[in-house]
Amino acid sequence: MSDLKNLSRAVPGHDLKLLGSAPYVYHCHHFNLFHDQTVEDALGPEEAFEVRCRAARRASRHLLADAVRMAGAATPIERLQLAASIFRWMGQGDLELLAGADGGAARGNHLHYGFAWREKYGAKVRRKVPIDAFAAGYASAATEVAFDLEPGSLCGRETSCFACREPGCEFSITTGGEGDTTAPVDAAGVERRVGTPGAGIGEERIAAITQGLNDFLLGVGPDERGLVQGFGIYVTRHLSGYYDQTAYDTIHFIEQHAPQATAAVEGLFGESGHVCVFYTFGNLLLSPEWEGLVGPVRGEVEEVVTSCTAIARALGFGHWTISELVPGERLVLRTASNYEFPFYLERYGRSAKPRCYFFANAARAFMQLAHRVDWPAKPALTEDLYQNLFKQGLSWHTEETCCCARGDDHCEVVVTRRS
């Protein structure tokens, strides 16, 4: 496929993105590392790697089967080359696939997870366990698709990891996988679950910014390392099924085996919304690209919240709308489409409680950024500032009052100032 942008399309009216028929979103390395660390903290490193690798293989196989069909890639070599090209276009790094029908190996350079982890934490922490579970799962899926093998027939394992201060990343791909008959959550499944798109406060401004950002993002490609670096972050086009399966499988395990820890784990997955909005949304708002597209951020509350809502839409998080906004007091954010609840309903059925952890906490981060950041001063979005805003000085309470995962016709989060 000469132009990988042709693989990308949208669910009309819902601000959800697809690679072929596989849902995807844009997320940065701060979010990706935080999300995977939450899985690891909850399950332990070995079980977490298996959960993440399995989710990566399942979501990636869905994507790669579509890509091979759309490209007309007939031979194993063509299919493996296509898989490596897509991996780079996603901003995941450079992955060399060296396996055959009986397994083999893969080699990674500048892999998103390992490279970003070492850059962010390597000077302070010595990592002891490999981190590139997504690449391991992707490599096994690519080999299965290349050689027309049954889903889940191969296993990927990282044997050398750059994040562990080793020279590069090496993977073994072996036969004897557990098999996998689980149907993917694809475009048809998403479209079955989303509701009617709504409108809200600032809709004209939000729609215009969203369109401008969509046009800009289509032109963003990887550098020579296979990484997408911009706005002070490393960006990935990532499969939302990977995030959803790893988060929900982890939470369900804790609910069954350590229910007393459920609130803490849910809180950490929710905090990923703070991490994403602070680093991804914040750095985008402070970027020269934003200033050229929209203008400098003045720091007015409605301006910041509508800007963040537009960014959420452009990144593929869904058609979020502002139902109410009272500066200093209250925000009500709604959506009938995000990347969380369609997966939950398709894979697990109706929930007894709200399940849109990212959506709910991103809304709280909107208000924190709108009220606590001096945008005209163009502050550096450092870890110290994050800790000050979201650990010591969190001023807002959030409640997900409606959730499609439990049968409501839309999701709604209400953010109010703490008394």
How many residues in total does the chain contain? Answer: 419
Beta strands 330-335 and 411-417: pairing type?
antiparallel
Q: What is the pLDDT of residue 5?
A: 66
CA–CA separation, 126 and 333 (whole Å): 40
Q: Tell whether 76 and 126 lie within a shared domain.
A: yes
Q: What is the pLDDT of residue 67?
A: 95
Q: Tell whether 171 and 203 lie within a shared domain.
A: no
- pLDDT tens, 212-262? 999 999 889 999 999 999 888 999 999 999 999 999 999 999 999 999 999
Ranges in the chain, pLDDT < 50: 1-2
Per the structure, the complete domain to which residue 13 belongs is given by: 4-175
Q: Tell whether 126 and 207 lie within a shared domain.
A: no
- Tell whether 19 is covered by a domain: yes
**pTM greater than 0.85:** yes
Q: Tell whether 215 and 165 lie within a shared domain.
A: no
| φ, ψ dihedrals at 63, nearest 5° | -60, -50
Q: Tell whether 166 and 267 lie within a shared domain.
A: no
400 Cβ contact partners less than 8 Å away, ≥ 6 residues apart: 354, 356, 359, 360, 411, 412, 413
